[in-house]
C-alpha cells in the first residue's frame, strides 16, 4: 500500500477536498459541525437572555460585521490551505478603500486637486480592484521565484500598503463618496408587499463563498491548493506548476481584500488609512476556528464562514452587554490564541 506522503497530489487533494457524499473525513465533519453547533448554541442563549439580540435590526448588524471580515477570511483560507499566510490583507483593505475613494472624489490624493482625475465609480472601483490583484501577484512572484517565506514578504507588504494609504490620503479620511454607490450597503426588495431591508455586503459575501466553494471543489486551483499545502515537494515532483498556482492564490486573496476595502469605504462613506486594520488577524482566526489548519492542506470555506459569523456574534454580544470597548480586543485576541491552540489539538488528533 502506498504511503500517504507518496500519494499523487490529485489523489491527496481529492481525499482532503471532501463533499457531503462520503468523501469528507469524519474528523472534519466533527470540526465543522462542532463550530456550527457552538454558533447556534451561543445565538440561542443570547436570544433568550437579551431582547435586543434576536431583533431583525441586530441580525443585520451582525451580518454586516461578519460580511467584510468574511470576504477577507475567504481569501486568507486559500492562502492558509497552501501552508502560507498573508499578513497584508488588512492594509490592502485600507489602501484599496483610500484609492477608490480618492479617484471618485478627487479629494485626499497626494497631489494637487487640479491634477487629480475624478473618475466614474465604475472606472475607479475596477482600478482599485486591479491594483489589489496585481499587488497580490507581485507578492506571489516574490514568494515563489525568490523563495522567501510568505510571512516575511506579506509582513513587509503590510507596512508598504499602510504607508501608501497614509501618503495617498494625506493622513485624513477621504469622504463624501458618490451617493449612487449606496446600493452596496443595503437593498430593499419587496417581499409579500413589504419592503425588506437586506445588507448587501452579506449577500456579496455569500456569493463570494459559493464561488470559492465551487473553485475549491471543481477546479485545478482548488485541488492543487490542498495538494500544495499537504506536500509541496510531492506536488512539484508530480509535474504540477506549483508557482503558477501559488501566484494565482495570492492574487485572489488580495483581490478579495481590495473588494472588502471598497465596500467598507462605501459603508463608512470614508476611505481611511485605518480601515480594516484588524481584518488580517480576524481573517486568520475565522479560518482556523472553521477548521482550516495553519499547517496547510486541510480546511474549507464553509467552516471559515461559520468562524466569521461566530466572531461577529461575540463582538455584538460584547456591545449588547456593555463590556468596555478597551476589553474588546482582549477578548478577540483570546479567541485568536484559542483558535491556534485548537488547531494544534486538531493536528494531534489527526496524527
- Confidence at residue 110, expressed as pLDDT on a 0 to 100 scale: 52
Query: Please, which pLDDT band fits residue 125 given cuts at 50, 70 and 90?
Result: very high
The torsion defined by the Cα of 172, 174, 175 and 179, in degrees rounded to 10, comes to -170
Which residues sit opposite 190 in a β-bridge? Answer: 195
Please report where in the chains the cell 480594516 appears, as a residue.
276
How do residues 21-47 score in pLDDT, each as one tens digit?
A: 344 455 555 555 778 888 899 999 999
Fold of 30-350: ABC transporter involved in vitamin B12 uptake, BtuC (1.10.3470)
Q: How far apart are CA 293 and CA 285, in angstroms?
A: 11
Strand locations in the chain, DSSP E? 174-175, 186-187, 190-191, 194-195, 198-199, 270-271
How do residues 210-222 score in pLDDT, each as one tens digit?
A: 999 999 999 999 9
Look at residue 271 and give its three-state secondary structure: strand
**Residue 3, pLDDT above cutoff 50:** no
- Confidence at residue 31, expressed as pLDDT on a 0 to 100 scale: 56
How do residues 288-309 score in pLDDT, each as one tens digit?
A: 988 888 888 888 899 999 999 9
- 141: exposed, middle or buried (C-beta count within 10 Å: 0-12, 13-18, 19+)? middle
Burial 150-170 (b: 16+ CB within 10 A, else e): beebbeebbeebbebbbebbb
Amino acid at each position: 500500500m502506498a504511503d500517504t506522503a507518496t500519494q499523487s497530489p490529485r489523489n491527496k487533494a481529492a481525499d482532503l477536498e471532501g463533499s457531503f457524499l462520503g468523501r469528507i473525513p469524519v474528523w472534519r465533519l466533527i470540526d465543522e459541525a462542532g463550530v456550527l453547533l457552538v454558533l447556534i448554541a451561543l445565538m440561542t442563549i443570547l436570544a433568550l437572555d437579551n431582547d435586543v439580540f434576536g431583533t431583525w435590526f441586530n441580525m443585520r448588524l451582525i451580518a454586516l460585521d461578519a460580511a467584510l471580515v468574511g470576504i477577507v477570511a475567504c481569501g486568507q483560507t486559500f492562502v492558509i490551505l497552501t501552508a502560507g499566510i498573508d499578513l497584508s490583507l488588512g492594509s490592502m483593505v485600507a489602501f484599496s478603500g483610500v484609492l477608490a475613494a480618492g479617484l471618485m472624489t478627487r479629494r485626499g490624493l497626494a497631489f494637487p486637486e487640479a491634477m487629480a482625475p475624478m473618475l466614474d465609480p465604475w472606472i475607479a472601483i475596477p482600478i482599485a480592484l486591479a491594483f489589489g490583484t496585481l499587488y497580490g501577484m507581485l507578492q506571489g512572484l516574490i514568494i515563489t521565484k525568490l523563495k522567501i517565506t510568505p510571512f516575511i514578504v506579506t509582513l513587509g507588504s503590510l507596512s508598504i500598503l499602510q504607508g501608501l494609504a497614509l501618503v495617498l490620503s494625506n493622513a485624513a479620511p477621504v469622504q463624501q463618496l458618490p451617493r449612487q454607490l449606496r446600493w452596496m450597503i443595503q437593498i430593499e426588495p419587496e417581499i409579500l408587499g413589504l419592503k425588506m431591508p437586506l445588507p448587501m455586503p452579506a449577500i456579496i459575501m455569500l456569493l463570494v463563498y459559493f464561488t470559492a466553494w465551487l473553485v475549491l471543489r471543481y477546479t485545478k486551483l482548488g485541488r492543487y491548493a490542498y495538494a500544495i499545502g499537504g506536500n509541496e515537494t510531492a506536488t512539484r515532483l508530480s509535474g504540477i506548476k506549483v508557482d503558477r498556482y501559488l501566484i494565482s492564490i495570492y492574487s485572489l486573496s488580495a483581490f478579495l481584500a481590495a473588494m472588502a476595502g471598497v465596500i467598507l469605504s462605501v459603508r463608512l462613506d470614508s476611505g481611511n488609512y485605518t480601515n480594516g486594520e484588524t481584518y488580517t488577524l480576524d481573517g486568520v482566526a475565522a479560518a482556523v476556528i472553521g477548521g482550516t489548519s495553519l499547517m496547510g492542506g486541510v480546511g474549507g470555506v464553509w467552516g471559515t464562514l461559520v468562524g466569521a459569523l461566530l466572531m461577529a456574534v461575540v463582538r455584538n454580544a460584547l456591545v449588547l452587554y456593555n463590556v468596555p470597548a478597551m476589553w474588546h480586543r482582549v477578548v478577540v485576541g483570546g479567541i485568536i490564541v484559542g483558535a491556534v491552540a485548537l488547531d494544534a489539538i486538531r493536528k494531534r488528533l489527526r496524527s
